[in-house]
Amino acid sequence: MKIQIIKCLKDNFSYLLINEKNLDAYVIDPGEAEPVLNYIETNQINLKYILNTHHHGDHIDGNNILKKKFNAKILAFENDRDRIPMIDIILKDAQIWNDDIFKFKVIHVPGHTLGHICFYFFKEKIIFTGDTLFSLGCGRVFEGSHNDMFNSLSKLKKLPPETDIYFGHEYTLNNSIFCKKIDKNNPHLKKKILKVKKKLDSGQPSVPSSIKDELECNIFLRAKNLKEFSKLRNLKDNF
């Protein structure tokens, strides 16, 4: 599987997952159609499926054009069936999706929104976390409770440490400021920030991160309990 990172809008990431044998592909969270379209047309990709982590516009606004142009099918979570337009196939929590192209598990992670899901490609050890888990941060809790978000992050913490994380926004450097403020003497964090800066300076995005890196450096994953998590989330919301 080849993962092509497509930058969308101001700081969104969309991802094209390409089967290199026949160029069949999935796209995750096309926040706008044009940059995805450009890549597909230049590289003669066959777009088969559109996957959405949640219903926010910056993750689905490219759906319509891409669906029409390539006759691609939209896959999204059952609870979002009334707010993601034109869903073709409903996904359920813990469902394993398996077709000729790719295989993944759906992980329901309410908090940022109630219908947020992650796509876990367990064979490749890759997860797409949308606006739930960022590098050095987590999504704002818009619809769920802090408890929902804490439990959702706890699910992700249990994945194999070597799992690569592809997240929804380039917030990493900004997030690092908050982590550094709370967690001054964390040597892993210092190293991670240097690594991120080097990548960004050379024009690369900070994706992917890994579960291991985030367990060591992400203050929201380091929170030991709900109370601690809740305090951090409130602090960050007003940071």
> Applying CB under 5 A, which residues contact Zn ion?
56, 131
- 102 vs 171: CA distance, rounded Å: 28
Q: 132, 106 in Cβ contact below 8 A?
A: no
Single out the residue of 32, 131, 170, 213 in contact with Fe ion (rule: CB under 5 A). Answer: 131
Of 57-65, 72-80, 81-89, 210-218, which segment contacts Fe ion by CB under 5 A? 57-65
32 binds Fe ion (CB under 5 A): no
Own/partner pairs for 151-157, CB < 8 Å, 24+ apart? 152/108, 152/109, 152/110, 152/111, 152/116, 153/109, 153/111, 153/220, 153/221, 153/229, 155/107, 155/109, 156/107, 156/109, 156/118, 156/127, 156/129, 156/132, 156/211, 156/221, 157/211, 157/215, 157/221
Query: Which listed option, Fe ion, Zn ion, none, makes contact with residue 108 (CB within 5 to 8 Å by class)?
Result: none
58 binds Fe ion (CB under 5 A): yes
Q: 161, 214 in Cβ contact below 8 A?
A: no
Nearest residue relative to Zn ion (C-beta) = 56
29 binds Fe ion (CB under 5 A): no
Of 60-68, 79-87, 125-133, 209-217, which segment contacts Fe ion by CB under 5 A? 125-133
Of 99-107, 108-116, 123-131, 229-237, which segment contacts Fe ion by CB under 5 A? 123-131
Structure tokens at 194: 């240097």
Query: By C-alpha distance, which of 184, 75, 175 is closest to 119?
Result: 75
Query: Which listed option, Fe ion, Zn ion, none, makes contact with residue 213 (CB within 5 to 8 Å by class)?
Result: none
Q: Which of residues 198-217 bind Fe ion (CB under 5 A)?
A: none
User: Smallest gap, in angstroms, from Cβ of residue 184 to Fe ion?
Assistant: 29
| Between 58 and 214, CB nearer to Fe ion | 58
Structure-derived torsion over alpha carbons of residues 107, 109, 115, 119, reported in degrees to the nearest 10: -30
| Between 58 and 170, CB nearer to Fe ion | 58
| Between 45 and 76, CB nearer to Fe ion | 76
- 213 vs 148: CA distance, rounded Å: 23
User: Smallest gap, in angstroms, from Cβ of residue 99 to Zn ion?
Assistant: 27
| Between 108 and 222, CB nearer to Fe ion | 108
Q: Where does this chain bind Fe ion (CB under 5 A)?
A: 58, 131
